[in-house]
Chain A
Amino acid sequence: NAGVTQTPKFQVLKTGQSMTLQCAQDMNHEYMSWYRQDPGMGLRLIHYSVGAGITDQGEVPNGYNVSRSTTEDFPLRLLSAAPSQTSVYFCASSRGGDEQFFGPGTRLTVL
Chain B
Amino acid sequence: QQQVKQSPQSLIVQKGGISIINCAYENTAFDYFPWYQQFPGKGPALLIAIRPDVSEKKEGRFTISFNKSAKQFSLHIMDSQPGDSATYFCAARETGANNLFFGTGTRLTVIP
Question: How many A residues face the partner with a CB closer than 8 A?
Answer: 24
In the complex, A103→B100 CA distance in Å?
A: 16
- Within the complex, which residue of B49, B99, B101, B102 is in contact with A48, where a contact is CB–CB below 8 Å? B99
Interchain CA distance A31-B6 in the complex, whole Å = 26
Partner of A40, one of B9, B99, B100: B9
Chain A residues near B112 (CB, 8 Å)? none
CB nearest to A40 among chain B residues? B104
Residue B69, interface by CB 8 Å: no
Contact at A42–B45, with CB atoms within 8 Å?
Answer: no
Taking CB atoms, residues of chain A closer than 8 Å to B32 are: 98
Contact in complex: A58, B99 (CB < 8 Å): yes
Q: Which of B2, B42, B99 contacts A33 (CB 8 A)?
A: B99
Q: Which residues of B contact A (CB under 8 A)?
A: 2, 6, 9, 32, 34, 36, 41-46, 49, 89, 98-105
A100 and B102 contact, Cβ closer than 8 Å, known pairs A42-B6, A43-B89: no
| Residue contact A105 to B43, C-beta cutoff 8 Å | yes
B98-A102 in contact (CB<8A): no
Residues of B within 8 A of A31 (CB): 98
Bound state CA distance, A103 and B41, in angstroms? 11
Interface presence of A2 (CB below 8 A) = no
- Nearest-neighbour CB distance to chain A for B41, whole angstroms, equals 8
Contact indicator B42/A42 (Cβ below 8 Å) = no
Q: List 30 A-B contacts (CB under 8 A).
A: A4-B43, A33-B98, A33-B99, A35-B102, A40-B104, A40-B105, A41-B104, A42-B2, A42-B89, A42-B105, A43-B44, A43-B89, A43-B102, A45-B100, A48-B99, A50-B98, A90-B43, A90-B44, A94-B98, A98-B46, A98-B49, A99-B34, A100-B100, A102-B45, A104-B41, A104-B42, A104-B43, A105-B41, A105-B42, A105-B43
Do B102 and A44 touch (CB < 8 A)?
yes
* CB nearest neighbor in B for A58: B99
Q: Please give 6 more A-B residue pairs, beta carbons under 8 A apart, in addition to A44-B102, A48-B98, A99-B46.
A: A31-B98, A41-B104, A42-B89, A45-B99, A99-B34, A102-B45
CA–CA, A99 to B44, complex, Å? Answer: 11
